[in-house]
A and B are shown apart, each in its own frame.
Chain A
């Protein structure tokens, strides 16, 4: 997986390169906005990690120029500013995700994998967590590489949870994607599906767990 890291702090860049290489990425590092703009006109990467505070300008400029050329490579922005204004600003400029310094390397890797897992992206075909795999094309669940029968609704819920694993998926989002926003949904329809999914996961011996965040939504994580 080719990754372009644009980060001016050489020490940090070196550390990130080491960490990301360990996670299976092949990392190229650039340190200025100008270099990045030139490189992006010539070459292609699977995913880009972009620091906002570059010595010759805001990383957002690189992003805007890229998107202006019709380059849709997923971009994750690193920033020292965590406030909403900056976050909205970054996402509106076409960033796919946003990470505030300092962060866990694990978190960065997870976010990058989530970006690559998006529909249409390289990892979009198979979602993995623990010993669970979901083939999003064949709509087939495997536990420990063994195919297991899950209902269409259960798979739909599972896909949403897996695409945002480690983060909370709002219950309303699940309702809307299962039934469409216009449809009247029984207040506990999603709960019923999640309950069945959870039971099914336990029965099949999957090493994942669906947590309920009461009043908010659900989150999938490793563990039993």
Chain B
């Protein structure tokens, strides 16, 4: 079955059907009612005539009935005028008096003597309507027939009935159509708060969990839905807040003891022991950081208008990791684009992705080699090292959580590249790995698009909800 998607559409369609039915049925009913009312009027007029006639009939000295027509009635019933006829008869069907020169009855059927009847039809070439009224004149039971010629009914009411369809009946359709237009306007107005709420709802997301749909002004039928949606949003916001608070608390609870440990190690005199403990704490810290980054990513969403300059992101990472690389007798270099390469995204998150890529490269590249960070103006960051490279069979697995080629290897948690993959996914970017000509691995973080001009910073207009 066809289903309507819009309330207004449904109202219009059903209304049109109703209009079609009503604009046919209503004039028809009115016409029939009018017709019966007109018939009634005529019948009354004829009955009165019959009564009048009865009053003018008396029994003569010859014992027969005689009628003494007034001048007006004589004209009316004269065969010259021809529009009205009468006949009077008795119970046996004998015609006693008649306006016809041949003294016949109006119809050939015998009218009953005990009840009033009306009749219509074609008799002697004329379309007539008449009634037969039983009465008693001078002690004799008689019937009096009176009829009129329908072809010449010179009464106003008949014209009205006849012209009804042309003059009155057609008005129904336009009136109903006007009603339809008014209804559509009414429904539209009633739904306006719903439209406004929908626009507000479009802005609700992980970045704006505080927004709620307004209940006031909402049609009562929609209010339960609005309330239920708002309650659902409350629960979601609670969940998000819980997750964020957990991340913040966990950061504090985990990092402070690590800081204490680290500081304590720094005060150990035994250089060799201190260094080995320091490495352990550093690995532990990195793992904690990565776990926290993972947790943070769960609730992270890129703002719609955020842009990141890949050159700035790469330069910051290079500057941050260069001293660490130098301490290991390795190098970090930046090549490629010099002018800003803008992509839609969050610079902080992209910085983490690139940092994890470069840290991974620094783990694998041998001493006295360089990890290169290249920014492609077409919207990509390419990180290359001189390490052993990644076998083709492992190129999918390395982006999984806690995946490590060598489980005995210290200092790598297997989280770094999965963080990169997650951040790439959030930015609709593609992360891939290949082997480098001359040895080593090449990680490519490619973005779907580059922004040509710095996007105007526009914040969505938010209606505060009290």
Chain A interface (Cβ < 8 Å from any Cβ of B) = 9, 11-12, 15-16, 18-19, 22, 53, 78, 80-85, 100-106, 166-168, 170, 211, 213-217, 219, 221
Contacts and interface: CB of A to CB of B under 8 A. Distances in A.
Interface string B267-302: 100000000001001000100010000001000000
A80 B256 contact: yes
B263, B278, B296, B320: most-surrounded residue (chain A CB, <10 A)? B263
B267 A213 contact: no
Contacts of B264: 15
7 contacts: A9-B260, A15-B263, A16-B263, A213-B318, A215-B315, A216-B332, A217-B319
A170 B316 CA distance: 10
A184 to B, nearest CB: 16
A81 B289 CA distance: 10
B323 A167 contact: yes
B322 A84 contact: no
B267 A19 contact: yes
Contacts of B267: 15, 18-19, 22, 105
Contact of A104 (B254, B255, B266, B296): B266
Contact of B322 (A11, A80, A219): A219
Contacts of A213: 318-319, 322, 331-334
Interface in B333-385: 333-335, 347-348, 351, 370, 373
A9 B315 CA distance: 36
Contacts of B333: 213-216
B259 interface: yes
A85 B348 contact: yes
Contacts of B322: 168, 211, 213, 216, 219
B318 A216 contact: yes
A84 to B, nearest CB: 4
Contacts of A100: 255
Nearest to A216: B318
A83 B266 contact: no
Interface string B316-331: 0011101100100001
Contact of B252 (A80, A168, A170, A211): A80
Top 5 A-B pairs ranked by shortest CB distance?
A215-B334, A214-B333, A101-B259, A105-B266, A168-B319
A75 to B, nearest CB: 18
Contacts, number: 102
B323 A82 contact: no
A214 B255 CA distance: 33
Contacts of B263: 12, 15-16, 19, 102, 105
B255 A221 contact: no
A170 B258 contact: no
A17 B267 CA distance: 12
Nearest to A100: B255
B182 interface: no
B319 A81 contact: no
A99 B384 CA distance: 30
**Which of A53, A166, A167 is the most central at the interface, judged by chain B CB atoms within 10 Å of its CB?**
A53
B354 to A, nearest CB: 13
B266 A12 contact: no
Given A15-B264, A214-B333, A9 B323 contact: no
B248 interface: yes
A78 B251 CA distance: 13
Interface in B439-461: none
B255 A102 contact: yes
B261 interface: yes
A190 B227 CA distance: 65
Contact of A11 (B260, B278, B370): B260
Q: Which of A80, A85, A219 has the most CB of B within 10 A?
A: A80
B426 interface: no
Contact of A83 (B315, B318, B335, B348): B348
